Amino acid sequence: MREAPFKDRAHAGRWLAERLSRYANCPDVLVLALPRGGVPVAFEIARALHTQLDIFLVRKLGVPGQEELAMGAIATGGVCVLNEDIITYLGISQEEIDPVVAEQQKELERRERTYRVNRPPPDLRGRTVILVDDGLATGSTMRAAVSAVRKQLPAKIVIAVPIAAPAVCDDFKEEVDEIVCGLTPEGFFAVGFWYQDFSQTTDEEIRDLLSRAAREQPAVSGGT
């Protein structure tokens, strides 16, 4: 029987941190996790690199009546990214977009409150941002995150994931300054296939990991 290479997300994070060692002890580096599954991975990376950890929330904006089709996304820091090609092609009006944005903004704010417990989002301007998730299958969430992060003018955007579909990993090479895909197996199947334990990360776990990270790295320059 095949054994997955990663015991769990924490194991994957420690493994991935070794491949990011050049960013250790750099005060301008910020590790941003995509909740939920990216948080345990990113926690181990930030701990190993002695860098600041935070989260970056992204909410998809579904086309009205075709919610699985994304016409854009909103993200941490009040950033809204719209897919103008889809909006123009489908003839979606601003009056149709506004309520979708409002609904998803409300949910994003709820999650921000749940995870941050009133801690403000970090300032990304001029920093090296390492975006972390537990894997890349289609890359849609990460792509929205990259677009939103870029609007906040970081010095460098790095994507780091333990596992990724080869084609998706290749696509991102043109979109960011650097991408570190730990494993890119041809028979990808799904992210969870590569973890022995891929149980859902809970909101309580996220709050705990963020709290622990804040205690362990309390003074990192460049944050808020």
Candidate CATH numbers 3.30.2270.10, 1.10.1740.10, 3.40.50.2020, 3.40.50.11810; the one for domain 9-58+123-216: 3.40.50.2020
| Helix, strand, coil tally for the chain in percent (to 5) | 40, 25, 35
| pLDDT value of position 217 | 72
CATH code for the part of the protein at 60-116: 3.30.1310
Indicate the domain borders of the chain.
9-58+123-216, 60-116
**Tell me: the pLDDT tens digits for 2-14?**
678 999 999 999 9
pLDDT band at 219 (very low <50, low <70, confident <90, very high): low
Please state, for a pLDDT cut of 70, what percent of the chain lies above it.
96
- In DSSP notation, 176-223 reads SSEEEEEE--SS---GGGGBS--PPPPHHHHHHHHHHHHHHS---TT-
The per-type count for the chain, helices as H runs and strands as E runs, is 7, 8
**Tell me: the pLDDT tens digits for 69-110?**
888 888 877 778 888 888 999 999 999 999 999 999 998 988
Side chain identity at residue 172, one-letter code: F
Looking from the CA of 202 toward its CB, the CA atoms found within 13 Å total 3
pTM: 0.85
